Chains A and B, each alone.
Chain A
Amino acid sequence: MSATPSTAFEIAAAVRAGSVRAIDVLEAHLGRIAARETDIHAFNLVTADEARAAATRIDDLVAAGRDPGPLAGVPIALKDNMCTRGVPTTCSSRILEGWKPPYDATVVSRLAAMGAVSVGKTNLDEFAMGSSTENSAFGVTLNPRDTSRVAGGSSGGSAAAVAAAFAPVSLGSDTGGSIRQPAALCGVVGVKPTYGTVSRYGLVAFASSLDQIGPFSADVRDSALILESISGHDPLDSTSIPQGPLDLLSVLDHDVKGMRIGRITDMPEGADPDVLGRLEAAFDALRAAGATIVDVELPSLKYGLTAYYLIAPAEASSNLARYDGVRYGRRVDAVDTNSMYMATRAAGFGDEVKRRIMLGTYALSAGYYDAYYGKALKVRRLISDDFARAYATADVLLTPTSPIPAFKVGEKADDPLSMYLCDVYTIPTNLAGHPAMSVPFGDSREGLPIGVQVMASTLGEQSMFKVASALERHMNSSGGRS
């Protein structure tokens, strides 16, 4: 056997060519999981048997001279809020413990049809509400770069799985930064695509108008590969944009000469100096590569956190009302149905989920709708309009992904608001529905990964990936130093 390829791109090529067996690729990854998963806790469930069966089917197809698809034999980890038929899907919540969906999410069936091999379901903040994976009912996920620190969240398990090489790629979901922030904290690439490019069918909803599925990977090319594979219209999702898959791999080698990179002059403050230093280095690298840096103003950006923390909980309060103990999941028995609802939901949801359900219910309730939810929707428009003006003069915008590198476990656990502030740079793109991604761009002085966020306008993924790819090339050529 030749040396095991490490990226999804290389694995698929090797498996399709018959030079490497999918089962061997899988065993290499299962071996790393066996060695390190107890220290990291990236997974809620490792589906080794199902994965071995799937890998064997891929190898049989190759042996029979048939093409198993563009992701042949690529191990992939799925955030545990994507429905997998017959395989428990928990959202890291007690209320869904034991539930086995009778159907697959669209992304899950697309990946399987393309030959990818799911290795398991990754940990998250309960119902994707959080920025550290500490809100999981099944325990925190630790950062593979420093296991005293969090992996970020809410898709902390998916970020950690890639950072620990448990899988070359994984899927997360991003409602306010839940892919990009853990990607930054774990030192991997993470992409939130334009709202509507990846089907939400089978993604357990947190906030329907903000949620998007996207990939994690070690390099930009693998994220492009996975995003190409899972994007494209899905008739089962009414908000799915009616167009084909994104075309990304073809633009990765393009240079950034002449591109206009926006610097937000009135960016919300409070970022760590090391983070700001890496952002400056990114601007320098792009300028050196021939791009132009332009200043843009987004005066409403500072209201993004407020708009988000009214809109997302409002939608969540409705989306999570279905966990009532009637049809699936946990039930706490009681003398009548109403008491059963109250007891089931009190026992099944964790503190952060309850907090957001309360906040969202309040924001929608009679007498408060206009003051909170209604006003937040208007602020959302202001932010979207600000972005539209900025993208008239800039092709992409650059910001930090997270104001701070990975923090210690427990450091923010008792202060919800300071946790919310972790998303200050990532939230605005969700409100606008735009694409954004985090690219690893060096480390802090403490040796913790720092990510730079590349943001683009609606369906501006090609510009975004070109710039991300240029930043990655810069890091590779400078040997990790700029």
Chain B
Amino acid sequence: MPDTPSERISAAAVAKVARLARLDVSDDEITRMTGQLAGMLEHFADIDSLDLSDVAPMTQPYPLTNVFREDVVAPSLDRDEVLANAPAAEDGRFRVPPIIGLDG
């Protein structure tokens, strides 16, 4: 596998993906990840030459349709048990820091 960063993905694109995925990454990590991802994408280029224009995408391994549940209430989980697992809770609710900086 090529160790040199290829043209397949740029450090800027990696930084953008990290933001989309909500992963705090250092500049060093960006550099390292860019190399690794580029190497993988290079390897995955083997499918680029395939003519797939007439091929339908396959999303489900076993074809089922119309799977339903009936509209019948089952008991709720116990709030205390659930909130005991929460990093922070207050007044029966999950507590989070101020909600800002969520766009982009």
A→B interface (CB under 8 Å):
99-100, 102-103, 194-196, 209-210, 235, 238-239, 241-242, 302-303, 305-307, 309-310, 317, 321, 324-331, 333-343, 345-346, 349, 354-355, 357-359, 361-362, 365, 372, 374-382, 384, 415-418, 431-433, 458
Partner of A345, one of B23, B55, B58, B78: B23
Cβ of B99 within 8 Å of any chain A Cβ, yes or no, is: yes
Contact A336 B23 (CB under 8 A): no
Please judge, given known A-B contacts A196-B62, A340-B96, A458-B62, whether A374 and B22 are in contact too, CB under 8 Å.
no
Whole-angstrom distance between the Cβ of A414 and the nearest chain B Cβ = 10
- Whether A358 pairs with B33 at a CB distance below 8 angstroms is yes
User: CB distance A355 to B102 under 8 Å?
Assistant: no
Interchain CB contact (< 8 A) of B50 among A303, A415, A433: A303
Please pick, from A242, A303, A337, the residue contacting B96 in the complex, using a CB distance under 8 A.
A337
**Chain A minimum-CB-distance residue to B14:** A358
- B70-92 interface bits toward A, Cβ cutoff 8 Å, 1 = contact, 0 = none: 00000001100110011110000
B25, A346: Cβ atoms closer than 8 Å: yes
- Inter-chain contacts of A210 with B (CB < 8 A): 61
A238 and B57 form a contact (CB under 8 A): no
The 9 closest A-B pairs by CB, nearest first: A433-B61, A377-B57, A331-B87, A346-B24, A342-B24, A338-B101, A381-B58, A195-B61, A378-B52
Contact residues of A: prevailing secondary structure: helix
Which B residues are CB-close (under 8 A) to A342?
22-24
Minimum Cβ distance to chain B for residue A388 (Å) = 12
Does B97 lie within 8 Å of A337, measured CB to CB? yes
Chain B: minimal CB distance from A238 (Å): 4
A195 touches B24 (CB 8 A): no
Please measure, in the bound complex, the distance between the C-alpha atom of A111 and the C-alpha atom of B86, giving whole angstroms.
29
| B residues near A343, Cβ cutoff 8 Å | 24
Per the bound structure, the CA–CA distance linking A359 and B39 in Å amounts to: 11
Closest B residue by C-beta to A212: B61
Given contacts A337-B102, A431-B58, 20 further A-B contacts (CB under 8 A): A102-B85, A242-B64, A305-B43, A306-B43, A326-B86, A327-B82, A327-B85, A328-B85, A330-B87, A338-B22, A354-B23, A354-B25, A358-B14, A362-B37, A374-B57, A377-B59, A378-B56, A378-B58, A381-B55, A416-B36
Using A102-B81, A309-B44, A327-B85 as known contacts, say yes or no to A239 and B36 having CB atoms under 8 A apart: no
Q: Are B14 and A302 in contact (CB under 8 A)?
A: no
CB <8 Å contact, B98 and A341: no
Given the complex, which residues of A lie within 8 Å of B40, measured CB to CB? 309, 359, 416-417
B78 → A minimal CB distance (Å):
7
Shortest C-beta distance, A370 to chain B (Å), equals 10
Contact A362/B13 with A345-B22, A378-B52 known, Cβ cut-off 8 Å: yes
